[in-house]
Structure 1
């Protein structure tokens, strides 16, 4: 099972590859992956705390839609 840290690194790598920029820029825009309890979030137990520009947030949200289908449940860590 993928961990929150693994997911965060994968998201940043894909954003750099697909949108350009640096990993530091995308890390700041993405924020941290927040892992929730699967008892209350059975379909997808994670979220992120976006803090980027409108353009960055839109790019991240589009990526998240795809990634949630592949990795809906992650482990803390």
Structure 2
């Protein structure tokens, strides 16, 4: 899975669960940072969402779910 695939999964889940449109969620989500697997063996990606408190909380909730399913992105 690539970082672009991960973003697509984020947007689909956010739009389905929290409502709203993918464009707004894309702005809230921001970029996915990839880390070296040698230094981050359990999960090599991170995000830094920006938006309202509720939007950031929703993104973090989805991120927790996606980290369990897709810990390594390349």
Task: Name the TM tier (shorter chain).
Answer: over 0.9
Matched ranges for 1:54-69 at <5 A: 54-69=53-68
**In 2, Cα distance between the equivalents of 1:53 and 1:9?**
21
Structure 2 counterpart of 1:15:
14
Unaligned runs of at least 5 residues, structure 1: none
**In 2, Cα distance between the equivalents of 1:17 and 1:43?**
27
Structure 1 counterpart of 2:25:
26
Structure 2 counterpart of 1:50:
49
Deviations 1:24-52 (A, max 9, x none): 10001000111110010010000112111
Offset at residue 74 of structure 1 (A):
0.2
Runs (4 or more) in structure 1 with deviation over 6 Å come to none
**In 1, Cα distance between the equivalents of 2:28 and 2:21?**
11
Output the TM-score relative to the length of structure 1: 0.92
Give the aligned CA root-mean-square deviation in angstroms.
0.6
Aligned residues: 74
Bigger relative contact order, structure 1 or 2, given CA contacts below 8 A and separation 6+? 1
